[in-house]
């Protein structure tokens, strides 16, 4: 009896899915992404509405979690099944890996027509092109070597924003005396690594490039690297004991509310400050990590276009072009806290920190001081990135001494390659 009812339901459900499957509109893009928080999603909605005006239906496939790692798992299943989405939000070396599997589309004609090569920084193009062919539309550039300081806490600690490691330590010490948590930090491997790469960068551009982009074993095993780990130990002493597992936005909240003095985090942290009604320059200060002025470590969200059937290619190209539209790049990045991937977008709509970010990016690009962020997948492939994260996290949690960490780092990177 029960079973018969179930069977009827099952048949009905099957019929429903069949009809749903066959009703595919003509021009559609299916987009896999992990921008599901309010601000990000409404920023992306700009793109969706733009495409809908052009008669392209947006099929949304949001998968949040783990900074995109859940989405990447889903993507693997989709591509293996021969059911790739039209466009996928992706970061850094993941793009290269997918391109080398031959799974991505070719956007050369759109790119040439619109002259992308002239407006996208070369360091970004390394990830938007593979084998000389355009495969992705970059949406934004985040830079990771920022420090966010509570203005009141800074004033109480002398008022001068630190520009060198020594000054930074002095400010942190002062904040500690003043009875707040000097460094608001969340103990998750990627956050530890974000601080670590800034520390490495503060020891020199060449050192950063050799160690975290070129993975030179000599640089990885050098005394400078030990110095970097020693600095991490020093920074650890300014973090409260309750840090492990804390989400980054909770660490931002500590700085916003004045329990914490500063946070070392990428520019996405700005959104938290703005949403709390704080004004850059008045309530909080944004500076480059002391010792890294003039250099930028970046990560860039891009929409990688996958190989799809001919019926979907027209819409795919339209989307690629829409992402590169300066108006979208401006509108999206104002909300997201990042800066446009195009260098020719007006900075009018951006706030002070945003303007500074755009200027820094352009200057670093000119000076050859724009490097891929290791912590965010633009320094090395996933296996190496995670191997480095492992070591950094273990060291930061006191499981390894600085000497052991250097040794382990060399071994781990070699084993992961």
Partner 1 sequence: MNRNRLQDLIPRLVLSPSMALILIFVYAFILYTFYLSMTDSRMLPSYGFVGFDNYEKLWNLRHWWRALTNLAIFGSLYIVVCSVLGLFLAILLDQKIRGEGFLRPIYLYPMALSFIVTGTAWKWFLDPGIGLENTMHQWGWTSFAFAWIKDRNLAIYTVVIAAIWQSSGFVMAMFLAGLRGVDSEIIKAAQMDGASNVTIYRRIIIPMMRPVFLSAFVVLAHLAIKSYDLVIALTGGGPGQATELPATFMYSYTFTRNQMGIGASSAIIMLVMIFSIIIPYLYSELRPGRQR
Partner 2 sequence: MSDEKMVGTTTGNRLLRALLYTVLVLFAVYYLLPLYVMVVNSVKPLDEIRQGNMLSLPALFTLEPWAKAWSSAQVGVQPTGLKPYFFNSILMVVPAVAISTVLGALNGYVLTKWRFRGDDVVFGLILLSCFIPFQIALIPAARILGFLGIAGTTTGLVLIHVVYGLGFTTLFFRNYYAAFPTELVRAAQIDGAGFFQIFRRILLPSSSPIIVVTVIWQFTNIWNDFLFGVSFGDFDSLPMTVALNNLVSSSGGVKEYNVHFAGAILAALPTLIVYIVSGRYFVRGLMAGAVKG
Q: Residue 30 binds which one of partner 1, partner 2, none, with CB within 5 to 8 A depending on kind?
A: partner 2
Q: Which stretch binds partner 2 (CB under 8 A): 37-45, 102-110, 312-320, 350-358?
A: 37-45
CB of 75 to partner 2, least distance (A): 9
Q: Residue 36 binds which one of partner 2, partner 1, none, with CB within 5 to 8 A depending on kind?
A: partner 2
What's the token pair of residue 108? 């050369």
Binding of residue 260 to partner 1 (CB under 8 A): no
- 27, 314 Cβ separation under 8 angstroms: yes
Q: Which stretch binds partner 2 (CB under 8 A): 34-42, 102-110, 382-390, 406-414?
A: 34-42
Which regions of 2-97 does DSSP assign to beta strands (E)?
28-33, 57-62, 87-91
Nearest one of 71, 72, 93, 73 to 375, comparing CA atoms: 93
Residue 152 and residue 43: Cα distance in Å, rounded? 31
Q: Residue 39 binds which one of partner 1, partner 2, none, with CB within 5 to 8 A depending on kind?
A: partner 2
Residue 391 and residue 401: Cα distance in Å, rounded? 10
**Burial (Cβ within 10 Å: 0-12, 13-18, ≥19) of residue 218:** exposed
**Cα atoms in the 13 Å half-sphere on the side-chain side of 86:** 23
CB nearer to partner 2: give 44 or 410: 44
Residue 238 and residue 78: Cα distance in Å, rounded? 44
Radius of gyration, CA atoms only, the chain: 23
Q: Residue 19 binds which one of partner 1, partner 2, none, with CB within 5 to 8 A depending on kind?
A: none
Binding of residue 44 to partner 2 (CB under 8 A): yes
CB nearer to partner 1: give 274 or 416: 416
Binding of residue 74 to partner 2 (CB under 8 A): yes
Q: Which of residues 100-119 bind partner 1 (CB under 8 A)?
A: 101
Q: Residue 101 binds which one of partner 1, partner 2, none, with CB within 5 to 8 A depending on kind?
A: partner 1
What's the token pair of residue 160? 């001068």
CB of 100 to partner 1, least distance (A): 9
C-alpha distance from residue 314 to each of 15, 130, 311, 329, 366 (Å): 31, 21, 7, 21, 35
Interface residue with partner 2, options 247, 352, 366, 399 (CB under 8 A): 247
Residue 131 and residue 220: Cα distance in Å, rounded? 29
Q: Which stretch binds partner 2 (CB under 8 A): 79-87, 165-173, 342-350, 385-393?
A: 79-87
Q: Which of residues 12-31 bind partner 2 (CB under 8 A)?
A: 13-14, 16-18, 20-21, 30-31
CB of 390 to partner 1, least distance (A): 6
Interface residue with partner 1, options 283, 383, 402, 407 (CB under 8 A): 383
Site size for partner 2, by CB under 8 A?
Answer: 54
Q: Which of residues 52-81 bind partner 1 (CB under 8 A)?
A: 66, 69, 72-73, 76, 79-80
Residue 4 and residue 8: Cα distance in Å, rounded? 6
Q: Residue 217 binds which one of partner 2, partner 1, none, with CB within 5 to 8 A depending on kind?
A: none
- 267, 338 Cβ separation under 8 angstroms: yes
Residue 86 and residue 59: Cα distance in Å, rounded? 9
Q: What angle do CA 266, 248, 263 make, to 5 degrees?
A: 60
Which regions of 9-114 does DSSP assign to beta strands (E)?
28-33, 57-62, 87-91
| Angle formed by the axes of helices 382-396 and 92-100, nearest 10° | 150
- 44, 332 Cβ separation under 8 angstroms: yes
Bridge partner residues of 57 (DSSP): 28
DSSP state of 104: B
CB of 363 to partner 1, least distance (A): 34
Binding of residue 258 to partner 2 (CB under 8 A): no
Interface residue with partner 1, options 61, 62, 174, 187 (CB under 8 A): 187
Q: Which residues would be at the binding site for partner 1 (CB under 8 A)? A: 66, 69, 72-73, 76, 79-80, 97-98, 101, 187-189, 241-245, 381-383, 386-387, 390, 393-394, 396-399, 415-416
Q: Which residues would be at the binding site for partner 2 (CB under 8 A)? A: 2-3, 6-7, 9-10, 13-14, 16-18, 20-21, 30-31, 33-42, 44-45, 48, 58-67, 70, 73-74, 76-78, 80-83, 247, 249, 268, 271-272, 275
């Amino acid at each position: 009896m029960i079973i018969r009812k179930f069977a009827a339901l099952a048949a009905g459900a099957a019929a429903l899915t069949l009809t749903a499957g066959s009703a595919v509109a003509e021009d559609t893009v299916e987009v896999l992404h992990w921008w599901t928080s309010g601000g990000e999603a409404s920023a992306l909605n700009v793109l969706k509405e733009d495409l809908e005006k052009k008669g392209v239906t947006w099929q949304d496939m949001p998968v949040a979690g783990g900074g995109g790692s859940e989405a990447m798992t889903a993507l693997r299943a989709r591509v293996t099944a021969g059911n790739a989405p039209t466009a996928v939000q992706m970061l850094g070396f993941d793009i290269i890996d997918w391109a080398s599997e031959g799974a991505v589309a070719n956007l050369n004609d759109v790119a040439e027509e619109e002259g992308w090569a002239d407006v996208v920084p070369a360091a970004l193009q390394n990830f938007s092109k593979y084998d000389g062919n355009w495969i992705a539309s970059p949406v934004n550039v985040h830079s990771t070597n920022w420090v966010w300081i509570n203005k009141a806490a800074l004033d109480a600690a002398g008022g001068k924003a630190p520009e060198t490691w020594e000054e930074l330590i002095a400010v942190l010490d002062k904040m500690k005396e003043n009875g707040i948590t000097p460094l608001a930090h969340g103990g998750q491997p990627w956050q530890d690594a974000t601080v670590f790469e800034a520390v490495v960068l503060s020891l020199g551009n060449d050192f950063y490039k050799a160690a975290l982009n070129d993975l030179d074993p000599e640089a990885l095993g050098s005394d400078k690297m030990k110095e970097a780990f020693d600095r991490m130990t020093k920074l650890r002493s300014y973090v409260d004991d309750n840090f492990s597992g804390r989400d980054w936005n909770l660490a931002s909240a500590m700085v916003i509310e004045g329990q914490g003095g500063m946070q070392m985090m990428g520019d996405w942290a700005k959104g938290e400050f703005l949403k709390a009604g704080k004004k850059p320059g008045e309530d909080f200060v944004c500076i480059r990590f002391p010792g890294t002025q003039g250099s930028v470590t970046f990560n860039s969200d891009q929409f990688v276009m996958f190989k799809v059937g001919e019926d979907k290619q027209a819409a795919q190209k339209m989307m690629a072009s829409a992402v590169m539209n300066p108006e979208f790049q401006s509108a999206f990045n104002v909300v997201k806290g990042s800066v446009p991937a195009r260098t020719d977008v007006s900075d009018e709509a951006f706030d002070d920190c945003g303007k500074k970010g755009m200027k820094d990016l352009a200057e670093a690009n000119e000076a050859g001081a724009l490097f891929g962020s290791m912590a965010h997948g633009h320094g090395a492939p996933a296996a190496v990135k995670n191997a480095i994260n492992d070591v950094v996290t273990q060291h930061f949690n006191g499981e390894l001494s600085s000497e052991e960490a250097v040794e382990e780092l060399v071994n781990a990177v070699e084993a992961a390659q």
